[in-house]
């Protein structure tokens, strides 16, 4: 147990959650390493949700609410870190939930689906035999659910790999990514990238979607239309550079 008074409490608490997810069979060993890369970018970001990230989350909420068939792609890291917030977001935005793994494994898919169900998810796709192939990616990474990602118009991909983000965009999906690295292929391939930690983004997105269900379609379109991903990514990179170039960590 980490004492809450430890100066790096939050960061260490997140590591503990991932280690627990690994022991439970939800997180892949490679997922632990991917988290390490994310941690470094979060450190540069200042470990807080910037105004830039909040603006992207606002656009993402508008996009989800405007979609006819939005789906959240869930992997082991996301389930270990924020299963409850993911289920709440799915409810608030009317999204489907699909377990979709880079390092695919049916046992891991079932463990992750169980974690979502225990937090109240009524239906979790991606564990049964409705498998379809997404064009443009290598097997087995192209496996998706026919009723989920294949049929979706918008896919929220927290922690996605660049190839698959590109393939989803090429397949005509609106792609919303959450990625702490503003220079990753995922961040650049997505239509909306929230450069922030999933642990902060998922509850914020659920809250925005609950509030914005009051908006009419024109207002949602205005929020979405005002968003520019390239500008937003550049601003996130500048924030990191500022923080390291004589800012808070210097």
Q: Which residues bind ligand ATP (CB under 6 A)?
A: 34-35, 37-38, 41, 159, 161-162, 178-181, 184-186, 197-198
Shortest distance, CB of residue 183 to ligand ATP, whole angstroms?
8
Q: Cβ closer to ligand ATP: 98 or 160?
A: 160
The least distance separating ligand ATP from the CB of residue 42, rounded to whole angstroms, comes to 7
Nearer to ligand ATP by C-beta: 40 or 222?
40
Select from 66, 133, 63 the least CA-distant residue to 100: 133
Query: Whose Cβ is closer to ligand ATP: residue 6's or residue 37's?
Result: 37
Q: What are the b/e assignments for 113-141, b being 16+ CB within 10 Å?
A: bbbbeebebeebbbbeeeeeebeebeeeb
How far apart are CB 221 and ligand ATP at their closest, in Å? 27
Residues 6+ apart with CB under 8 A from 153: 67, 68, 69, 70, 173, 174
Q: Which residues contact 202 (CB under 8 A, 6 or more apart)?
A: 78, 82, 85, 86, 88, 89, 158
Q: Which residue is nearest to ligand ATP (CB)?
A: 38
Cβ distance to ligand ATP smaller for residue 9 or 128: 9
Q: Which helix (H) or strand (E) holds 145?
A: strand 143-145
Q: Which is nearer to ligand ATP, 90 or 157 (CB)?
A: 157
């Amino acid at each position: 147990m980490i004492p809450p008074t430890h100066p790096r409490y939050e960061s260490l608490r997140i590591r503990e959650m991932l280690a627990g997810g690994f022991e439970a069979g939800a997180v892949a060993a490679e997922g632990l390493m991917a988290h390490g890369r994310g941690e470094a970018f979060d450190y540069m970001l200042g470990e807080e949700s910037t105004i830039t990230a909040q603006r992207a989350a606002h656009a993402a909420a508008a996009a989800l609410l405007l979609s006819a068939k939005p789906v959240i792609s869930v992997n082991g890291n996301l389930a270990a870190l924020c299963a409850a917030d993911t289920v709440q977001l799915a409810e608030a935005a009317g999204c489907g939930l699909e377990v979709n793994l880079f390092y695919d494994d049916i046992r891991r898919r079932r463990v992750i689906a169980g974690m979502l169900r225990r937090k109240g998810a009524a239906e979790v796709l991606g564990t049964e035999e409705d498998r379809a192939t997404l064009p443009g990616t290598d097997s087995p990474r192209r496996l998706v659910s026919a009723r989920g990602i294949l049929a979706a118009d918008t896919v929220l991909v927290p922690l996605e790999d660049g190839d698959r983000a590109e393939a989803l965009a090429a397949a005509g999906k609106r792609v919303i990514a959450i990625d702490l690295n503003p220079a990753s292929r995922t961040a650049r391939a997505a239509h909306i990238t929230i450069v922030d930690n999933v642990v902060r983004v998922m509850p914020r997105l659920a809250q925005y979607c609950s509030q914005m269900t009051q908006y009419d379609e024109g207002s949602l379109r205005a929020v979405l239309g005002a968003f520019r991903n390239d500008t937003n990514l550049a601003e996130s990179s500048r924030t990191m550079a500022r923080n390291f170039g004589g800012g808070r960590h210097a």
